[in-house]
Amino acid sequence: MIDQLATEYASQSVVFLEYGVNPPISSRFSRWQAAASGQNLTLPYAMVDSGQHTSNGYVSFYSVYKGMVEAELSRPAQAELKAYQQRNGSQVDFTVQLKNLSGVPLSAANSATIHAIVYEDAHVQLTGRFVRSAVSKSITSLAEGATGTFTLATSGLSGVNWDKLHYLVFVDYRPSNTGAYDMLQAAIAQPLFLASPDQIIFLVDPSNPGSPSQLVTIQGPASFTWQASADKFWLTVTPSSGPIDTQPAISLVMSGLQNGWQEGLVTFTSSDNLNSVQVKVEVYYGTLQKYFLPVVIH
């Protein structure tokens, strides 16, 4: 049933997660307790948002859960989030940029909190998405309309398949300082430093003058800058460095190309010198058959 709902809502970026209750993971279980305070509860527990919608006991799972999800989807987001993650040994580090659109200051007074969750595509109990780690950090002070940057890190993870892990970040607060918490917004955490596309293929006909080029999108925190280097003299990057929102163009020095196939690498390094990504460039130089395209991007 949960897997059916997960498939049904995948295109709407709704994520269904399963947490272990014994022992509960981090502060997430406290959100459910806050929303259900004073009730006579029975397992299983279910929560949508950070407690705006809850259910317990055996119910018509599909219709009840679907109703809670639909009610939440009708509400507008109250924050803007950009989230990034990177593996650091056996732990995961998160960097989160949050813009407060809630209409009120976020602070310890209303228990405002940033959360980061690591879950795995693994059938541990009931579903195929099991939470492996959940960490949080209190928001000391963030005025309405203001933007802040936060960092979080999990403890060491063991017994997980790193190729099947996913990373989710969200922010919540307690509007009335009592009762249920309210989730303002959530986001999938992207790799901390990324270049797209990561592979480019140029098909160059000598009879066609001019050097082809391809823009590359660099992704990372707003505070990052980057610099580029190429391992072949026939590859150029313009500009060769810049802020994170600058799109460099990879192009060719035509006089340096040889007939046939050749390949090179462009490496983009972040300003902290801790992160680098590579773009593979393959070039065919020669008379093109009619079924070739001038430029193909992967």
Q: How far is CA 137 from CA 33, 41, 111, 172, in A?
A: 19, 28, 10, 11
Residues 213 and 140 in one domain: no
Mean pLDDT of the chain: 89
pLDDT in tens, 190-239: 888 889 999 999 999 888 878 899 999 998 888 889 999 999 999 999 99
Instruction: For residue 5, give the DSSP letter.
Output: H
Residues 169 and 228 in one domain: no
Residues 138 and 201 in one domain: no
If one counts the domains in the chain, the total is 2
Poorest-confidence range of 94-103, 202-211, 255-264? 202-211
Torsion angle in degrees (nearest 10) through CA of 64, 68, 69, 74:
140
Q: How far is CA 80 from CA 31, 171, 264, in A?
A: 21, 10, 38
287 or 102: which leads in pLDDT: 102
pLDDT in tens, 105-143: 999 999 999 999 999 998 888 788 899 999 999 999 999
Residues 216 and 86 in one domain: no
pLDDT of the residue at 24: 66
The domain boundary residue, chosen from 191, 225, 260: 191
151 or 273: which leads in pLDDT: 151
CATH code (residue 90): 2.60.40.10
Q: Which residues form the domain of 35?
A: 2-191
C-alpha 221: how far from its chain's center?
A: 12
The structure tokens listed for 7 are 């498939």
Instruction: For residue 101, give the DSSP letter.
Output: -
Residues 55 and 184 in one domain: yes
The domain boundary residue, chosen from 134, 162, 191: 191
Among 265, 263, 264, 194, smallest CA distance to 226 is for: 194
Residues 182 and 198 in one domain: no
Residues 33 and 117 in one domain: yes
Q: Residue 175 above 50 pLDDT?
A: yes
Residues 222 and 162 in one domain: no
12 burial (CB, 10 Å; 0-12 / 13-18 / 19+) is exposed
293 or 220: which leads in pLDDT: 220
Residues 58 and 180 in one domain: yes
Residues 78 and 38 in one domain: yes
Q: Residue 25 above 80 pLDDT?
A: no
Reduced to 3 states (helix: H, G, I; strand: E, B; else coil), residue 226 is: strand
Q: Residue 20 above 60 pLDDT?
A: yes
Residues 123 and 145 in one domain: yes
